[in-house]
Amino acid sequence: MTLSAQYLSLAGRLEAASCALEKGGITAICGPNGAGKSSLLQILAGLLETDAGEVTLDGESLASLESRAKRLGYLPQAPEIAWDVTVRSVVELGRIPHRDAATAPVEAAIAAMDLAGYESRRAQALSGGEQARVLLARVLAGEPEWILADEPLAALDIGHQQALIGHLKREARAGRGVVLVLHDLAMAMNHADRVLVLDEGRLVADAGPAEALSSERIAEVWGVETRWLGEEGARALAHA
């Protein structure tokens, strides 16, 4: 099961980027500010048109795929809750593509995001981190084949960061595809199975985290001298 992008180009954002992503693991998209990370994720979600290239899902053009909303779950970089509704109502929106009122996926998503007891609270009154968990729960409630999330860890405290990445790893092991834009290179190094590195709209690395995020690559792309400390799976990035 493959989400494939071939020769994507978008003026000022991407230059002929190609990748073929597989289910069953976590892919991290990394790069400096303005490198094209969010643009690539939006294109993979079918939300941004390109000047050239094509995105396919299991061999079918994403642009013409009627079931796209069921199969792809997308969380933007700066999501917001526009209506003064309850947490449960927001999470239930994830079921809209399925046109049903199934409660089990909603309950599972609420539990996964540590929102039990929040169901009747007004979502707009929550903190930024709590709102981020509510919106990700909405994505999970849709039971998508692919979870595409732009900086999902940014607003979370360290405990909820670890809980979320653990949940996403379980989702991947269960056979879903997970694609995350991450600025935290240590998170990408320790938890991703594959890392795409973008620099000024160009895909400059597509490999396992140890290769894609080597100290040499970080110096080349981010312009910072660093070194990795610790053991595999628990590495920290230090300035050299």
CATH number for 232: 3.40.50.300
pLDDT of residue 184: 96
pLDDT of residue 30: 98
pLDDT average, residue stretch 172-192: 96
> Model-level pTM?
0.94
More confident residue, 64 or 209: 209
Cβ atoms within 10 Å, residue 136: 26
- Cβ partners under 8 Å of residue 98, min gap 6: 70, 142, 143
Largest CA distance in the chain: 54
Residue 109 lies inside a defined structural domain of this protein? no
- Asked if 169 and 26 touch (Cβ cutoff 8 Å), the reply is yes
Residue 207 lies inside a defined structural domain of this protein? yes
Write the DSSP symbol of residue 66. T
The domain containing residue 155 runs over which residues?
2-78+145-239
Residue 123 lies inside a defined structural domain of this protein? no
Residue 161 lies inside a defined structural domain of this protein? yes
| pLDDT band, very low/low/confident/very high, at 159 (cuts 50, 70, 90) | very high
Residue 53 lies inside a defined structural domain of this protein? yes
| pLDDT band, very low/low/confident/very high, at 71 (cuts 50, 70, 90) | very high
Grouping H, G, I as helix, E, B as strand and the rest as coil, residue 184 is: coil
pLDDT average, residue stretch 73-83: 86
Q: How many domains does the chain have?
A: 1
pLDDT of residue 78: 77
pLDDT of residue 211: 97
